[in-house]
Amino acid sequence: MKKIIGLIIAFVLCFSLCACQESSNETTEDNLLDKTVYFHECEYKVSSDWEEGDQSDFYQYYYPEKTFGVQVCYDSSISSISKIKDMDAYVERNTSASDFTEISRTDIGVNGAEGIKIKATAKKDDTDVYLSAMVFNVPSGIMCFLIVDAEEEPDTEKVDSLSEKMMNTIKIEGVEAFLEETTESETEKESKEKKTTESTTEEETESTTKEIKTIETTEEETEEETETTTEEVLNSIVQEAMKTAKTYLGYIDYSYSGLVNQLELEGYSNTDAVKAVEMLGIDWNEQALKCANAYIVKSKMTKKEVKKQMKADGFTDSQIEYAIENADFD
């Protein structure tokens, strides 16, 4: 009888120990992302075990493993993801990668805000990488979460799993008011379109009268008015392009051609983009030097790697040579 009771007790203890181990494993998995980070209007979670990289007002870097990275980017120069004409180019620029090839694109909701998830392959420092990017709206701009695996054989499931887990931890400050404001804006737009469609005969008559008056003006007056209006519009567009360019230069060390291309992605014409960039009066040698030092500090690149990356960024040979000669290599 004692033996039977002893066996029962041993069985119960063994069962309880196994249950505890399973519970412990689940807790570890659940608490993988155990550290809350506040970044602009976005709150998200990372693991306290991850190594932290450079942190700034626009970028946050984390390294779960040596070749496995998480990058969070904030962009206040773009009001909505709907304004980005080439999403692949936008994501590729944020990764500082090349040979970007999109695998899939999905519309997502991040804490109620509109977003897009992109899975892609690319090359970074001659290494094939797999990445998952989440780009979504926040009240003052957009956020981009990038998860990249640069192993020789990237673990796509691990990247996708972490991307999903991080997305589920994201909370956007003031998201309800932000979504209400967005809905109201869409309603106002629909209302305006409706009013335009239901324009009255009186408005049409007024328009006809204005046209007659315009025809009656002299050719000289018409030409002067047109020239003045066109000049004002052009100046306004270029000034806006300059403002956009300055915002981008605040967190990315663009080359001349890179900055012009970025402005074109934002919808500016090549003429306006070129004029805006030239009016900034940038010393492109010094800009190249800043870019080189950033690659050295953030990505630990060698001279050869910096030179190759800067060439891809659009810097000229003379600018690259100046940067390499003056950069802070160890």
Buried/exposed code over 187-196 (b: 16+ C-beta within 10 A; e: otherwise) = eeeeeeeeee
Q: What's the domain count of the chain?
A: 2
Are 50 and 172 part of one and the same domain? yes
What pLDDT shows up at residue 3?
A: 43
Enclosing domain of residue 293: 284-326
Q: Are residues 36 and 171 in the same domain?
A: yes
Final residue belonging to a domain, choices 177, 194, 209: 177
Predicted confidence (pLDDT) at residue 304 exceeds the cutoff of 50: yes
Give the strands of the sheet with 35-39, arranged side by side.
35-39, 42-46, 171-172
The answer as to whether 167 is a domain residue is yes
| CATH number, domain containing residue 311 | 1.10.10
Cβ atoms of 131 and 147 closer than 8 Å: yes
What average pLDDT is seen over the chain?
A: 77
Other beta carbons within 10 angstroms of residue 231's beta carbon come to 10
User: Considering the entire predicted model, what is its pTM?
Assistant: 0.55
Residue pLDDT, tens place only, 95-111:
777 788 999 999 999 88
Residue 164 lies in a domain: yes
**Is residue 252, in this structure, part of any structural domain at all?**
no
Highest mean pLDDT among 19-33, 70-84, 276-290, 293-307: 276-290
3-state SS assignment for residue 77:
coil
Evaluate whether residue 142 is within a structural domain.
yes
Q: How many CB atoms lie within 10 A of CB 42?
A: 23
Which residue did the predictor score with more confidence, 198 or 180?
A: 180
Of the three residues 145, 177, 209, the one that is the final residue of a domain is: 177
Examine the fold and report which residue of 160, 177, 194 is the final residue of a domain before the chain moves on: 177
**Does 21 score more than 60 pLDDT?**
no
Question: Is 127 part of any domain?
Answer: yes
pLDDT digit string (tens) for 182-240? 555 555 555 555 555 555 455 555 655 555 555 555 555 555 554 544 555 557 888 88
pLDDT of residue 24: 37
- The CATH number of whichever domain residue 52 belongs to comes to 3.40.1000.10
Check if the beta carbon of residue 57 is closer than 8 Å to that of residue 251.
Answer: yes
Name the band, by pLDDT with cuts 50, 70 and 90, for residue 47: very high
| 46 lies in some domain | yes
Note whether residue 106 is domain-resident: yes
Q: Answer whether residue 269 is part of any domain.
A: no
- As a whole number, mean pLDDT of residues 251-273 equals 88
72 class by beta-carbon count within 10 Å (0-12 exposed, 13-18 middle, 19+ buried): buried
